[in-house]
Every structure is written in C-alpha cells, then in structure tokens.
Amino acid sequence: MAKVNDTSPSKFAELRKQAEGMIARGEKSAKALAGEDYDKLTHELLTHQIELELQNEELRQAQIELEQSHRRYVDLYDFAPVGYLTVSPQGTILKANLTAGDMLGVERQSLLHKRLSTFILAEDQDIYYHHQTHIPTSEDFQTCELRMRTTEGKLFHVEMKSSRTPDLGENADQLRTILVDISDRKTYEESLRRSKEEWAKTFDSIEDIITLQDKDMRIVRANKAAGRFFNKDPLLLIGNSCYQLLRGATEPCPGCPLLASITDKKCHSEIIKHAGSDKVFQVNSSLICDEKGEILYLIHVARDITEKTKQDLLLLQLRIQQEQVKRLESLKTMAGAIAHRFNNAMTAVLGNLEMMIENIPENVPENKMAAQAYQAAHGASTIGTMMLSYVGQRPLQLQPTDLAELAQECATEVTRQFKNPYTLKFIPPPAPLYCSLDQQQIKEVISNILANAIEALPAQNGEIEISFSTADFDRASFPLAFQGDTPKKGRYTFCQIRDTGQGIDPENIPYIFEPFYTTKFVGRGLGLALSLGLIKTHHGAILVDSTPGAGTTVKILLPAMDHPPAISAAPASPTKVGEVKLSGDILVVDDDDLVLNVTQKMLEVLGLTVHTAVNGLEALEMVRQQNIDFRAVVMDISMPIMNGIDAMKEMRKCNADLPILLNSGYAEEDFAFDVEGAAKPDVFLKKPFQFAELQRSLEKLLP
C-alpha cells in the first residue's frame, strides 16, 4: 500500500508525468486563453488537480485496507480463545476482550474499571501479589497459576501471563495480561495424580515382590514387598540388580526368566528355590516395549509359594494316603473272603486229623504222623486268623492285663530269635498299668514292632528301650490310618519302644502300615499292617516318630482302664473229648461236603444221630415237616439259596424253642444279629473249630 505522506521529488515527478499524459490524450481540456502565461498557468493547474485526484484515490484505498485490518484485529482480540486484559499498575482493568468477560461471567463494559483481584480466590491472592510485583522488573512474560471465581461463584483455574506494555508514552506503566482457562488441564492433572497415587498404592499393596528393571537388569522401581524381602527401603534398591541383592553375584541367577524374556521378548515363568533360605518362588517375567518393539523395561515378579508348595505337597500326600486307605479297605475285603474260604477248608483238615488221632492207637506210627500233620495244620490255620486280625475281624478275647508284664514276655521271646549284640533297657512303670486287651493279639503287635526295632540297629552297640506311661491324646495326633471312627480323644496307656537304629526317612513313614511294604532286603511284609488291624480292633493307635540316623520311637496306645481289675476265679478244667455222651437227633447244615462230613463224624462220636442238609432252604423244609424231633441245629451261615441267618429266623417261626448253633469262617462281630429284628443264635462257633470246642458248645446248647 502506498504511503499517503510520500512527498519525495521522484513521487511528484511521477504524478506530473501521469497528469501530462492525461492532458495529451484529451482526457483533460481547458478553455483557450490568449497568451503564453495563461496557457502555462492553466497547464500547471490541471497538472496539480490531477495529482491531487490520484493522491486522494490512494488515500481512499489505504483507508479501506486500514479499516479491514482493524476489523480483523478486533475480531482476533475479542474472540481469541484466551482472555486479554490491559491492567493499570494498581490492578484495575482498563481494557478487556469479550473472552475475558465470558470467562469472568461479566459483560465487557461492566468489567472495565474493576480490580482484577476481586475475581481471584482469597487463598490465591498471595500468588497474584507476587506475580504483580515481579512484572516491572522483568522484560519477559511472568506466568503463574491460580484459581478465579466468576460473578456467579463458579470456580475455575487459569494460567496468568503478564508483561509491561511496549508503549513508551503515558501508558508505559500499564500491564498486558493473558488469562488461559486451564480447568480441563487441572482436572486431567488431578485425575492423573489420583491414578498415579492409586497405582502406587496398588503396586505397594501387592504381596508379590515386584521390580521394574531397565534392559541392563538394574532396578528402576520396587514395591514395598521387595523392600521387606531385601530388608531395605524400596528407594535404596534403585540402581541395583536383584542378583546382586540376593546372592552378591555379578551375573544373573541360572534359569532366571528375565534372560529368556530378553532373548525372545516373550513372557516366562519359573519355579526357583532361594539359595539362602528354604523359600520357593514362582518368578514371572514380562516386557514393556516401545512402538518399534525395543525393550524399555523388564518386569520381574516373584511370588513366595513356599506355603502353597507345602500345602500342595500335603494335599498330594493326603490323596495318596486316601488312596492307600481305599486300597487297604479293598485288601481287607479280599483278605476276609480268603480267610473265610481258608477257615472252611482247615475245619475239614483239622477235624479229620483229630478223628484219625482218636481212632488210631497211640503206639502205631500213623498216630504220630497224624499228630504231626495236625500240629502243622493247626499252625497253618493261624494264617486265616492273621488275615482276619489284619482286617479287624478276629474275635477279641478281652481280659484285664498288665501291659508291662505282657511286653516283658514279648521281649524275652523275641530276644531269643536274634543273635546280634544289643542292649535292652526295660523300664517298668511304678505300678501295674492294666488294659482290657486280647493277650495273643497285643503280644503279636509288640513282638512285630520290637523285631523291627532290633533289625534296624547297627551291627554293634545298638540299644532298645521299653518304657510305659499313661497320657491324654487328641485325635489330631493320630496318623491318618487311625483317623476313622476309632480311636477317640481320651486317656491312653502306652508301651514305648525306642531304638538307636538307622531311623525312617520321612517320605517312607506314610507307607509303613501298608501290607508287604518293606525297605529291608527280605521282609515279613504283614508285620506293621497286621499290627494296625489288631490295634484298631482294640480302639487304640500306633504313633511313629523317627529321624534318619537317630533312631525311631514307637508308641503303642491302648485305652486306659479307669479302675484296677477285680481278681476272677480260676476257670474250671475242660472236659476231655468223648467223655460226655449225648443222644438224640441233630441237624447239620453246610454247603461244603468236607466240613459237613467231618462235623457229622464228630457228632456221631458224641452219640448223636446226625441228619444233614446242604443249604438253608433244605434245612428249613426238614424242620417244618416236624417228622423228626431235632434237639438242635448246627448250621453254617454263608450258603447258597438261603443263608444260615435267614433260615434260622424262619425256623424260629415254626419252632421257637429249637436250639440253634451257627458257625462261620467270619467272626461273630461281622454279623448284625440284633439289627432289624434278626434273631440271634443260641451259640456261635468260629471256624476252624476243634472237636473239643464243638463238644463244649453242644454241652451249653443241649439241656
């Protein structure tokens, strides 16, 4: 744009040239005048006129452009996204744009001549004061953040920028102030602060040991759990590597998942046992990468799973023990069935051998042969008894017994079986400790445990100590094998057998009561398993405490007796076989022909007339016919078609006074005679029975 005040000679020359050109083209004319002066004057006047017209056109264009520029300035000033103020040195608002009025909730004209401090929150007045005092001494903008309030009371945050005006005249002391509404930014910053605070609290509240590491495996951040583990303030961990803190090493731990993550940039997990303690950790590693996939940070998380590992191990052991219990129950069922079949067979063998001995003269060699066979068969019959003892089905012959006296007998008998030198220390109790027990069964238990203790001793200088006491025990102290219905919490008398042998490894203790389990080259197999069954039938328990290399202590617990036993009279001498003669008809029922035949022979020797049947239904029909006056019925329980118990109940319906003897390879306790109205036999006889036992049973049965 041309400047209207340009009066340079060149400018006038240019204008004159333009004017003369216009006259020459006839665009401007003048009335002809006479005389040379007149023409010259006229020419000059026309030229000046044209010059003035041209200057006016340029001024008009400059004015238009100036007005347009002013309007643009006003628009920018008034509608700028920030507030513009001109403030006096005393803080009075002299000028303001529309945005400033909108921000403060006041029309622009009403805003003028008000003090800016009236819109500033009282708590931030000091900030504004310091802001104002620094402006005159600085050439740059001064910036502060404070809170302001609109006339309606709405609070908002502003960033205030102020500087002196560039005028050097009367306005030189005025201040230019810019107000930027930063409420959204402050809200975001507060939200970000809270998020960081919540993240930090969450990070520190996690019980896992978490460290954020750089790509050189140096810690850049650690949570409180890491500080507790390393016994340091988390800030003091920064700059260190975990392997330095853990082991004082210069290289990462073998198997560290961070190394694998650095290599393949994937997450990894490892179970690592801390070398300096018994703690076990699950260590997880992951990465934080930039948009190019370059590693920024490594995340190392270590979770203490020591207790969980122990719990998992306990659960595993519990499952194994539960499986063992199930297996033991299956073995018990099988052993009971085998014992029943075996006892049936031994009844026929022993019975026939007894009959041979009775019928063959003593001076005949065959008599001695039969006697030896009977002795061997009788010993073999104890196999069935052992099986039933193992499954807890052997009938108990309970009697009050001094436990220490019984244990001393066992020690004497077992000692004869071993030749290796050892010291036996027997510590009797101050007074007899009585228990109600089956002497034969508990002798078997004590003998088994004592034999195991002797075999565990070293070749020389071993020691066995046997002691006794009475104490209260809780069910929780009993091994899993004894955690069933019995034993119960209460007072127990116990025999303690301690040896100085090699001890038992902890992982082997849960298996010692399993049948045929042994760590010896040759074992007897059923020793402790049999003892378990016998003790359970006595409502007792066996406690085992062992340390490898330091020996084993076994406590045999039996329910304590509240009062000393009364002294009973001596039993009467038994009647010899065949001395008593019986008469009359008797019915013998058994599905095993061998047992049936030998029983028939025994009863005939006693003088009875024997009738036989092979199952309960056949025997019932014979009783119902009432054509024979049976004095008694000797009947097996386990038979096809109709068992002995059902047959007995039906017989009682037609002859309530008929004496009935039931026999079985199972123990009497295995049958619920008194449950659901089932009748109970007059006499129960356990197989295999001897001739004398059958005779005594019939003496009780027959009037």
Q: How confident is the model at residue 635 (pLDDT cuts 50, 70, 90)?
A: very high
In angstroms, what is the C-alpha Rg of the chain?
A: 58
For residue 553, pLDDT beyond 90: yes
Give me the pLDDT at residue 4, please: 44
Could you report the per-residue pLDDT of 607-616, keeping only the tens digit for each? Answer: 899 999 999 9
Q: By the 8 A CB rule, do 583 and 605 touch?
A: no
612: phi then psi, degrees, rounded to nearest 5: -125, 155
Distance CA 552, CA 586 (A): 57
Q: By the 8 A CB rule, do 12 and 48 touch?
A: no
Q: Which of the two residues, 340 and 436, has the higher pLDDT score?
A: 436
Percent pLDDT > 70 in the chain is 83
Question: Which two structure tokens, joined as six digits, stand for 590?
Answer: 């058994």
Query: Mean pLDDT, to the nearest integer, of 562-577?
Result: 55
For residue 591, pLDDT beyond 80: yes
Q: How many CB atoms lie within 10 A of CB 599?
A: 26
Give me the pLDDT at residue 117, please: 93
Could you report the per-residue pLDDT of 380-398, keeping only the tens digit for each? Answer: 666 666 666 655 556 677 8
Q: Which of the two residues, 385 and 244, has the higher pLDDT score?
A: 244
| Pairing of β 660-664 and β 683-686 | parallel
pTM, two decimal places? 0.45
Distance CA 642, CA 617 (A): 5
Q: Which of the two residues, 65 and 391, has the higher pLDDT score?
A: 65
Could you report the per-residue pLDDT of 293-346, keeping only the tens digit for each? Answer: 889 999 999 888 888 888 887 788 778 767 766 776 776 677 777 777 777 777
Question: Which amino acid is it at 639?
Answer: M
Q: Residue 342, SS3?
A: helix
The shares of helix, strand and coil residues in the chain, as percent rounded to the nearest 5, are: 45, 20, 35
Lowest pLDDT segment from 380-389, 394-403, 475-484, 589-598: 380-389
183: phi then psi, degrees, rounded to nearest 5: -60, -45
Please give the angle made by the CA atoms of 205, 209 and 211, to the nearest 5 degrees: 100
E strands in 274-405: 280-289, 295-304, 398-402
Q: How confident is the model at residue 197 (pLDDT cuts 50, 70, 90)?
A: very high
Q: How many CB atoms lie within 10 A of CB 702?
A: 17
Q: Is the peptide bond before 487 cis (omega within 30 degrees of 0)?
A: yes
Distance CA 81, CA 69 (A): 20
For residue 90, pLDDT beyond 70: yes
- Work out the mean pLDDT of the chain and round it to a whole number: 82
For residue 161, pLDDT beyond 90: yes
Question: Which two structure tokens, joined as six digits, stand for 280?
Answer: 């076990």
Task: Please provide the size of the chain in residues.
Answer: 703
Query: Mean pLDDT, to the nearest integer, of 457-481?
Result: 84
Query: What's the distance, CA 427 to chain centroid?
Result: 46
Query: Mean pLDDT, to the nearest integer, of 664-678?
Result: 69
Lowest pLDDT segment from 95-99, 358-362, 390-394: 390-394
Residue 16: name the closest of 37, 45, 40, 57 by CA. Answer: 45
293-299 contacts at long range (C-beta below 8 A, 24 or more positions apart): 293/265, 295/215, 295/262, 295/265, 296/215, 297/212, 297/213, 297/214, 297/215, 297/220, 298/212, 298/213, 298/214, 298/215, 298/217, 298/258, 298/261, 298/262, 299/210, 299/211, 299/212, 299/213
Query: Mean pLDDT, to the nearest integer, of 520-540?
Result: 70
Distance CA 121, CA 116 (A): 11
- Give whole-number Cα distances, 25 to 30, 33, 43, 47, 52, in Å: 13, 20, 14, 13, 19
Give me the pLDDT at residue 34, please: 45
Distance CA 387, CA 337 (A): 9
Give me the pLDDT at residue 243, please: 85
Distance CA 481, CA 543 (A): 10
Give me the pLDDT at residue 579, please: 56
Burial, 569: exposed, middle or buried (Cβ in 10 Å; 0-12, 13-18, 19+)? exposed
Lowest pLDDT segment from 387-401, 535-549, 559-573: 559-573
Q: Residue 140, SS3?
A: coil
For residue 131, pLDDT beyond 60: yes
Please give the angle made by the CA atoms of 235, 237 and 241, to the nearest 5 degrees: 150
Evaluate the CA torsion angle 152, 153, 154, 156 in order and state its sign. positive
- Give whole-number Cα distances, 531 to 164, 366, 390, 481, 556, in Å: 106, 39, 7, 12, 10
Element (H, E) at 462: strand 462-473
